[in-house]
Structure 1
Amino acid sequence: MTTPTGTTASPVTARLAEFVDGVREAVGRGLPPDVTAYLVGERLAPFLGTADLLNPAQRESAPDRYRQHILHAEPDGSFSVVALVWLPGQRTAVHDHVSWCVTGVHEGEEHERRYRLVPDGLTSRLVAVEDVVNPRGSVCGFAPPGDIHRVWNACGSTAISIHVYGADIARLGSSVRRVYELPTSDER
């Protein structure tokens, strides 16, 4: 099925349904966003790299940009599970998010540059604060504010990551709150 935003949703595997049940339990506790992200990350880690997590349609890429597959959107809007499929060289813009987020690398590796927003007179600029390489099996989570970053696939093969957001991405179309087009300094 194609959503209005051009993302895709397709039937879930039994393994993915098991993961979604674990996320539902963690989110249902009603804890603060940072704690929820931590708990969801604990549930995601054992599923990364398993061959039967995604069906073939959920592993499909796009030639011009990374591809988003919506795997699950909870009916009450409390969370969504998305697979992002990245061909070599594909990247995001510098951005932040609408909600807490947990990401895990299912296949390949992702590179990430994290930024800090710094007032600069009457304007602002971004300063790179950390570069991270996330290999297969790695999990990270965060809750806004302070979640400004860029992600890309710098390896020579396809990368797939699983993202869990504390929002209804099927309805919103994206987890991105804001794209930053400010001057950046890659010096830390």
Structure 2
Amino acid sequence: MKKLMLIAAVAGTIIATSCNNNTKNNDADNEMTAGEKLDQTLETLEENQDHAEAVLREELAKAEDRVNKAKADLDEAVRKGDKRAEEDARKALDEANTFWEKTKATARETGVKIEDGTNKAIDATKGAAESTGNALDRAYDKTIDATKEAADATGKAIDNAVEKTGEKANKVADDAEKKLNDLKNR
């Protein structure tokens, strides 16, 4: 029973730590995309869940074996007619059955907790991936908006420069024509 509780605690810790999204490694070659991180987390969760279920099945099998052995001992004591051994075997069978029932109840409870924890971790991981996707979409939209604004400002600056250059060219042409007329009129 203590083993089951320890296993449940370890499984819970593994599930909780697998949801940690903090990456402290700044090496660009080792960085994962949100999708890769999600896939890895889901695989880890499945592996941990499978391991915990295997341990629970093993504990259940041990408890069942204990009951079967106690039944066999009782049958043997009855067959031999040994009242003292029969009494001890009945007591051992009762204890084995109690242990068996407690183990089944703990296994059911632990299995539900593992599955519930796994589902919560999967939902949290999917939520984090969705949030990352939404943040990327917002960043993309802002980049597009900023690019459009910069292009509009650049276009306006070019239009303004062309207009001023045109005005200056017209003024220079007007001045040149005026000087030419002045020279002709002299």
Normalised by the length of structure 2, the TM-score is: 0.25
The structure in which a higher percent of residues are strand is 1
Normalised by the length of structure 1, the TM-score is: 0.25
The structure in which a higher percent of residues are helix is 2
